[in-house]
Copies of this chain bind each other. A is one copy, B any other.
Amino acid sequence: MTTAKRDTYTPETLLTVAVRVFNERGYDGTSMEHLSRAAGISKSSIYHHVTGKEELLRRAVSRALDGLFGILDEPGAVRGRAIERVEYVTRRTVEVLMAELPYVTLLLRVRGNTTTERWALERRREFDQRVSELLKAAVADGDLRADVDIRLATRLLFGMVNSLVEWYRPQPDGFPAEDQLADTVVQLAFEGMRASGR
Contacts and interface: CB of A to CB of B under 8 A. Distances in A.
Interface of A: 24-26, 28-29, 83, 109, 111, 113, 142-146, 148-149, 152-153, 155-160, 162-164, 166-167, 181, 184-185, 187-197
B145 A194 contact: yes
A190 B187 contact: no
Contacts of A24: 111
Contact of A156 (B146, B188, B191): B188
Contacts of A187: 148
Given A28-B29, A152-B184, A159-B163, A145 B190 contact: no
Given A145-B193, A195-B146, A163 B156 contact: yes
Nearest to A114: B29
A87 B187 CA distance: 19
Nearest to A187: B148
Contacts of A192: 188-192
Contact of A190 (B26, B146, B194): B194
A193 B163 contact: no
Contacts of A189: 192-193
B163 A155 contact: yes
Contacts of A153: 188, 193
A142 B188 contact: no
B155 A167 contact: yes
Contacts of A113: 25-26, 29
A159 B181 CA distance: 15
A158 to B, nearest CB: 8
Contacts of A26: 26, 28, 111, 113
Nearest to A143: B195
A195 B145 contact: yes
Contacts of A197: 142
B156 A160 contact: yes
